[in-house]
């Protein structure tokens, strides 16, 4: 089953989705020190948070999405990261930040945030193209703003 993204009024969703977003906000702003503290504060279990955290995002009403953050697991091979950066640039994405961990077990975690305001294709299509590139083990949309 392919991923599909919807904008849905929170009134029709289970309360847990809103609480997951709240935990993410608390963590980002530093109001809580870790996930355990965050889930305790909003009243959900850690398992509920982990179940939904990568699939629930807050989109501000009336604001056009400008940035996307993706997380990748790349094979530790020459050109893996530059290939991803080239693909994003080819589709008119503008790289804002890159964070790369040291490769462990021949794979490296990379997080890329990029401007998608001029993207020539849908973000989901771009993610699928990146996933199909050689040296890409996994790619996931983390956030959109």
Arithmetic mean of pLDDT, 109-114 = 97
Cα distance between residue 122 and residue 126, in whole Å: 6
Task: Name the percent of the chain lying above pLDDT 70.
Answer: 94
Cα distance between residue 145 and residue 133, in whole Å: 25
Give the 3-state secondary structure percentages of the chain, helix then strand then coil, rounded to 5.
35, 25, 40
User: What's the pLDDT band for 28 if we cut at 50, 70, 90?
Assistant: confident
Report whether pLDDT(61) > 70: no
Instruction: Tell me which CATH code domain 67-144 carries.
Output: 3.30.70.260
Arithmetic mean of pLDDT, 95-117 = 96
In the chain, where the domains are located: 13-52, 67-144
The whole-number pLDDT of residue 6 equals 78
User: What's the pLDDT band for 27 if we cut at 50, 70, 90?
Assistant: confident
The owner of tokens 């080819």 is 90
């Amino acid at each position: 089953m392919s991923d599909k993204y919807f904008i849905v009024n929170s009134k029709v969703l289970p309360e847990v989705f809103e609480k997951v977003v709240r935990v993410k906000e608390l963590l980002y702003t530093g109001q809580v020190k870790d996930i355990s503290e965050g889930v305790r504060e909003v009243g959900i279990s850690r398992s509920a948070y982990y179940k939904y955290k990568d699939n629930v995002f807050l989109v501000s009403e009336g604001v056009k999405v400008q940035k996307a953050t993706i997380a990748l697991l790349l094979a530790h091979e020459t050109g893996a990261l530059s290939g991803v950066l080239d693909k994003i640039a080819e589709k008119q994405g503008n790289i804002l930040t890159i964070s790369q961990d040291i490769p462990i077990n021949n794979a490296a975690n990379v997080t890329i945030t990029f401007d998608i305001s001029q993207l020539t294709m849908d973000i989901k299509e771009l993610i699928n193209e990146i996933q199909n590139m050689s040296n890409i083990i996994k790619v996931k949309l983390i956030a959109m703003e």
